[in-house]
Amino acid sequence: MIPLSYAQRRLWFLNRLEGPSATYNVPVVLRLDGVPDPVVLAAALRDVVERHESLRTVLPAGPDGEPHQQVRAAGQPVDFAAVECGPGGVDAAVRTFAHMPFDISCELPLRVRLFTAPDTACPVLVLLLHHVA
């Protein structure tokens, strides 16, 4: 088992004390010039996650209650979805998504959404990272 760093232990403790929360979410919001192919985007995200163990790491507690790092195997699906919003709904959807809590003991610290709407020419890509990553 890989022990936690001091920073990871602090975030794990706060996650256990407060429960899953959006306090340590880091949203990266990008307005794109064109609509990317969701299949190609998902493959690119999978490549990035495969190369970076921190994006595949969860912090569960062992049988003795002590937390540890658990690096999940490469090739796992990335939490990615293309979401079609109603007219004028992209901003609200981005806000809601950016405030979705992470449970770092069992969830990977990355989620990605591609928001589109019929009334906007520019889709919005949101990469939501937990600070632990």
Q: Which residues have a Cβ under 8 Å from the Cβ of 67 and sit 6 or more positions away?
A: 4, 8, 9, 12, 59, 60, 61, 105
Q: By mean pLDDT, which of 73-77, 80-84, 123-127 is the weakest? A: 73-77
Other CB atoms within 10 Å distance of the CB of residue 111: 21
Q: What is the value of pTM for the model shown?
A: 0.92
Taking the C-alpha atoms of residue 21 and residue 59, their distance in angstroms, rounded to an integer, is 15
CB-based contact 20:103 (threshold 8 Å):
yes
% of the chain surpassing 90 pLDDT: 88
pLDDT of residue 121: 82
Q: Give the torsion sign (CA, 4, 46, 33, 114).
A: negative
Q: Domains in the chain, please, with CATH?
A: 6-130 (3.30.559.10)
